[in-house]
């Protein structure tokens, strides 16, 4: 890859990340405005201000560091912007005094927007293409013309085209082609007679990918090959093994059909001894959709799948596997390699990023939106508990006028906008922000130098 392509990928990666975060923050901004909050500023990026516009209540700015953005709302926890200290802010428009349900909607608005961006991209792509490219959870494989699998299939009767409809059920390895072909035929004939307890021939290495006549997916297939072929290569110093496949064809409905309705044994094909490793030449297949609706609905499923995947990555923090985590720089580097593969992988990656941002922002750790939502929910629960307790006491003392009057006074003193002490909030949020910044710096250093 050329230096120019790497730089282009880096720039596009940063721009895409900035766009996704800006849309996220814009959703916060719109809900804040609809909720009646006093918004000082809507900023794209962080750090020093490059330029700004707007003369009324809200100013809009573009800042130097393109890794995010923010909505600056009047609050008891934050000082007003420089030069705006004298503005009189109505108390009911400060963040703490906005109705709680509006505040909670404001908090999750950005994450919800990222979710729907991912849904939009996934559903449009899958419905229009009719397939999901490179799906490791689907059956079959894409076979390289230079691979031994392709060569073996090409010489098999009834096969006019080698495509992903061909599924590998089992395979045999050994140095004697005649021996492994006979072992495969014996096993296949045994199964054809309805025998469920067929025994493998001695002296050959065999691996059964299909269990209970189920169609194996690509993940099962490829990891089995990686494991078994490496062991076979290391075991034989001559590296002169051959392979025989037991195959079958499958249609888009995942049913056995086509020219190979019954399992078929291929001829033995020798591995290429010059590669230094045994490979069969397979890659992930396309997940085929039989209708536009199926592609559309799978787009929703893919959004949820990619959303949850970020939780697995986040869990790597607690196992010390930092190498698999990526920040903005890592995303930009990945974008460089994806640009060579065309528009579809590019947009799929953008959708994956947006789905990741959806869940990442909902993790209940300060200063993420998930923590703010949890904090607001806890405050609301405490207030609701006080009100329920107050109503119960008024009912309990309904026949005692003095105690009933006291209970009513206490009930009316309950502040519907009560919140956790500001000092507590500041300590929690500042601590979380510092840790988050340190994590960001650490991942960025890893992405650049390692």
CB 126 within 8 A of CB 344: no
- Whole-number Å distance between alpha carbons of 283 and 263: 22
pLDDT (tens digit per residue) in 119-142: 999 999 999 999 999 999 999 999
Q: Any idea which residue has 């809009």 for tokens?
A: 60
Integer angstrom CA distances of residue 336 from 1, 329, 350, 440, 441: 9, 11, 13, 21, 21
Q: What does the alpha-carbon distance between residue 373 and residue 150 come to, in Å, rounded to a whole number?
A: 54
Which letter, b or e, does each residue of 296-313 get, where b requires 16 or more Cβ atoms within 10 Å of its Cβ? bebbeebbeebbeebeee
Q: Could you give the CA distance from residue 287 to residue 217 in angstroms, rounded to a whole number?
A: 11
Residue 6 has pLDDT above 90, yes or no: no
Give mean pLDDT, residues 9-38.
Answer: 90
> How does strand 242-249 pair with strand 269-270?
antiparallel
- How much is the pLDDT for 274? 81
Mean pLDDT (the chain) is: 88
Q: Give the percent of the chain with pLDDT over 70.
A: 95
Pairwise CA distance, residues 256 & 12, whole Å: 44
* Whether the predicted pLDDT of 209 surpasses 90: yes
Q: Which one is predicted more confidently, 145 or 312?
A: 145
| Residue 220 clears pLDDT 90, i.e. is over it | yes
pLDDT band at residue 197 using 50, 70 and 90 as cut-offs: confident
The reported pTM is: 0.83
pLDDT reading at 46 higher than 90? no
User: Tokens 């490829």 map to which residue?
Assistant: 222
């Amino acid at each position: 890859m050329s230096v120019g392509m790497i730089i282009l990928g880096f720039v596009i990666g940063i721009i895409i990340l900035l766009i996704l975060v800006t849309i996220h923050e814009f959703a916060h901004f719109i809900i804040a405005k609809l909720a009646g909050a006093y918004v000082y500023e809507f900023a794209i990026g962080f750090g020093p201000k490059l330029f700004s516009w707007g003369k009324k209540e809200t100013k809009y700015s573009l800042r130097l560091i393109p890794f995010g953005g923010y909505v600056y709302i009047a609050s008891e926890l934050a000082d007003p912007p420089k030069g705006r200290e004298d503005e009189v802010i109505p108390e009911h428009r400060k963040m703490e005094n906005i109705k709680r349900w509006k505040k909670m909607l404001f908090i999750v608005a950005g994450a919800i927007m990222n979710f729907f961006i991912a849904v939009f991209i996934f559903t449009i792509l899958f419905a229009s293409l009719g397939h999901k490219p490179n799906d490791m959870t689907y059956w079959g494989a894409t076979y390289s013309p230079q691979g031994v699998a392709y060569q073996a299939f090409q010489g098999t009767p009834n096969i006019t085209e080698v495509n992903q409809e061909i599924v590998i059920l089992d395979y045999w390895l050994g140095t004697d082609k005649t021996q492994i072909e006979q072992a495969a035929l014996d096993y296949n004939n045994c199964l054809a007679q309805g025998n469920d307890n067929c025994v493998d021939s001695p002296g050959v290495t065999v691996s059964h990918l299909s269990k209970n006549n189920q169609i194996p997916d690509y993940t099962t297939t490829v990891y089995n090959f990686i494991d078994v072929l490496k062991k076979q290569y290391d075991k034989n110093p001559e590296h002169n093994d051959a392979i025989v496949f037991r195959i079958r064809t499958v249609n888009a409905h995942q049913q056995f059909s086509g020219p190979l309705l019954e399992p078929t044994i291929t001829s033995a094909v020798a591995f290429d001894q010059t590669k230094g490793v045994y490979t069969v030449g397979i890659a992930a297949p396309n997940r085929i959709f039989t209708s536009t609706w199926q592609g559309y609905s799978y787009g929703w499923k893919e959004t949820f799948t990619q959303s949850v995947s970020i939780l697995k990555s986040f869990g790597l923090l607690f196992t010390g596997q930092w190498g698999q985590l990526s920040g903005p720089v890592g995303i930009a580097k990945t974008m460089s390699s994806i640009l060579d593969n065309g528009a579809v992988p590019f947009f799929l990656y953008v959708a994956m990023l947006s789905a990741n941002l959806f869940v990442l922002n909902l993790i209940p750790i300060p200063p993420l939106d998930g923590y703010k939502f949890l904090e607001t929910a806890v405050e609301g629960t405490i207030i609701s508990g006080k009100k329920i307790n107050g109503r119960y006491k008024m009912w309990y003392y309904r026949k005692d006028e003095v105690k009933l009057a006291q209970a009513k006074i206490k009930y009316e003193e309950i502040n519907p906008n009560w919140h956790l002490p500001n000092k507590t909030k500041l300590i929690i949020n500042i601590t979380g922000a510092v840790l988050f910044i340190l994590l960001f710096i650490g991942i960025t250093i890893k992405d650049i130098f390692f």
